[in-house]
Amino acid sequence: MAGRLQDKVAIVTGSGSVGPGWGNGKAMSVLFARQGARVVGVDIDAAAAAATQDIIDGEGGQAIAVVADVTSGADVERLVATALAAYGRIDILVNNVGIAVVGGPAELDEAAWERVMAVNIKSAYLTCHHVLPVMIRQRAGAIVNNASVAVRGWAGVNYGFYAASKGAMVAMTRTMAIRHAPDGIRANCVLPGLMNTPLVHAALTRVYGEEGDIDNLIRKRDAQCPLGRMGDAWDTAYAALFLASDEAKYITATELLVDGGLSARFA
C-alpha cells in the first residue's frame, strides 16, 4: 500500500538529534521516509545527519544527508541544488531548526538576539527563499514550519527571545501562504507545547533545577501539562506529516497546536 507521502521529495532541516533518542527532525525524517517520501535530511552535525540516514536506509527507505548551516545563504543554495540533482523536484519543505534560549530584553544581550533570530527565523527565510521558486515552477508544494506554543502566552518560563522568533515564524508563514496560494503552495505551522526531546534535555535542565538533572526537568514539565505528561518528537512528527500530506490539501495559513491542552491555560 502506498504511503501518505509516496514518491514526494521532502527537505527536513535539523534532521539529526543533539543527543540520544528522538528529536523532532529525526522523527520527522524517519516517519516521512516510512510514508514513502524521498528525504533530504539536513543538519549542521554530519554524524547526526548520517545517523538518521542510516535508520532510513536500514528500513529500506530513500534518503540523502546534507551537511549545511541553514543560517548561511550559500549553504542553503547548495542544499537546494543537491536536492534537485538527486531527485529533480522538491514537494515538501520542513523548517525544523531551532534553539531554545531562556530570557528576554532585560536579561540577554544583542549577540543572543542575533543568534536566536538567525537560527530560528533567518534559516526559514533562506530555505523558503530558495525553495519557493522551485515550488512555483512545479505549481505545487507544502511548507511546514515548526514554531512553538510559546507564541500563545506565558508557559512558566521566560522564553522572550525564543517566543519572538517563533512569532515571526507564524507571521511569515501566514503571509507566505496567502501570497503563494495561487501558485498551488500551502504553508502551515506546527506549534508544539512542552516536549520531551534531547534538545530540551540539553538546553533547559538548569532552568528547572540542577544542571544535568533530567529526571527533575521531566517531572516538573510533566506536571505543567493538562494531560499529565509532555509530548514527544513523534507527536510533532505526525502533525507535520498531516500538514505535508494531501490529506491537508485544503489547509493553509494556519497553526496546528500539539500541546496537550497547555495553551488553553493561557486564555
Phi, psi for residue 34 in degrees, rounded to 5: -60, -25
CA 265/CA 132 separation, integer angstroms: 36
Sign for the CA dihedral angle at 76, 167, 116, 251 comes to negative
Decide if 150 contacts 163 (C-beta within 8 A).
yes
Catalytically annotated residues: 162
The cell numbers describing 21, all together, are 533518542
The cell numbers describing 190, all together, are 506546527
The cell numbers describing 6, all together, are 509516496
CA 232/CA 194 separation, integer angstroms: 9
